[in-house]
Amino acid sequence: MQVALIGVSGYSGTVLYRLLKQHPAVDQINLYGHVDQVVTPLATVVPAYQKETAMVRPFVATTVMTENDVAFFATSAGVTQTLALPLLKADFPVIDLSGDFRLQDPASYTRWYHRPAAEVAALAKASYGLAEFNHHLTAYVANPGCYATATLLGLAPVVQNHLIDPTSIVVDAKSGLSGAGKKLAATSQFTMVNDNLQLYKLNQHQHIPEIMQQLQAWWPAIPALEFTTTLIPVTRGIMSSIYVKAAQPTTTAALVAQYQKTYQTSPFVQVLPAGELPTLKTVVGSNNCALGINYNPVTKTILIVSVIDNLMKGAAGQAIQNFNQLMNLPQTTGLPTLPTFP
């Protein structure tokens, strides 16, 4: 199978290239940049890949569709909708890592992404690829955001089974620096990140609406959630600490059993035994999501800790998982299930 990768220069694109290189169903990776891209060696674009001989060529939609069986877009929000629209209209298979087609409501996209949305007809053709739950994929798959993936996988069992007060969801999410991408900013300099914690995009993070869109699809009674993001001084990893009020008194053991039931056929979701909570090292380097659950009977509060590697399960790894499902391959094909440790 020949695949196109548009946008290899970013962190997600770089990791995606590595995963595609080792995927047994992929025979050839064709790299494309922007429309005005000068033909450039991959080794120049990604210095870490000095031994690769691939070239990054200009993006031409008709060429991409002629030369490939499927396309991955690892381009930025706003860029993707312009480049990918001809492929979407032609029903050409696409896995899109940007946020351009995750939201069904164009007004919501404009509010949270601060730019015009794609046309309504185009948005309607895209499917939201939360791989553990949304198996009925269209040809155009909108890969979920990293924070959204960690948070939704953490909340799914209690939301789908109405085990909580729907008005009580509080999420304290923390991410490593690679989640911010390669763009330079004062807040991402070593002197700001090292030995420091920084809250950012308070009540303004663009993953909030896609989290709400999916939660309300599962349970319309959920009106909102409190969602806070913090930058932590690590390279990779997301930890979402989720606090919800139980609808009825319960136990940690009962909740763990519910989570195990929900994810019993999910190869990439690990539900830890009662009394155990995950760390970033539990998952970094893998496509796994690890979940720990605890119930406090005094406050009737359920704590769910969800951890993922933001560049794997939160981006490139889930993109491959969606690719496997779209192409009727086993979910685990070409994906690491063991973390990088130590």
> Which residues are known to be catalytic?
146
Point out which residues pair with 172 in neighbouring strands.
Answer: 228, 241
Q: Tokens standing for 336? A: 């690491």
Note the helical H segments in 140-251.
146-160, 190-193, 208-218
Q: What does DSSP assign to residue 316?
A: I
Q: What does DSSP assign to residue 48?
A: G
Q: Tokens standing for 273? A: 């035994």
> What's the sign of the alpha-carbon dihedral 121, 316, 268, 240?
negative
Instruction: Find tokens 């995750």 and name the residue.
Output: 102
Q: Which residues of 230-245 are buried (b: 16+ CB within 10 A; e: fewer)?
A: ebbebebbbbbbbbbe
Q: What does DSSP assign to residue 332?
A: T
Residue 235's nearest CA partner among 199, 268, 171, 190 is 190
Q: How far apart are CA 147 and CA 55, in angstroms?
A: 32
Q: How far apart are CA 334 and CA 328, in angstroms?
A: 14
**Are 170 and 226 in contact, with CB atoms under 8 Å apart?**
yes
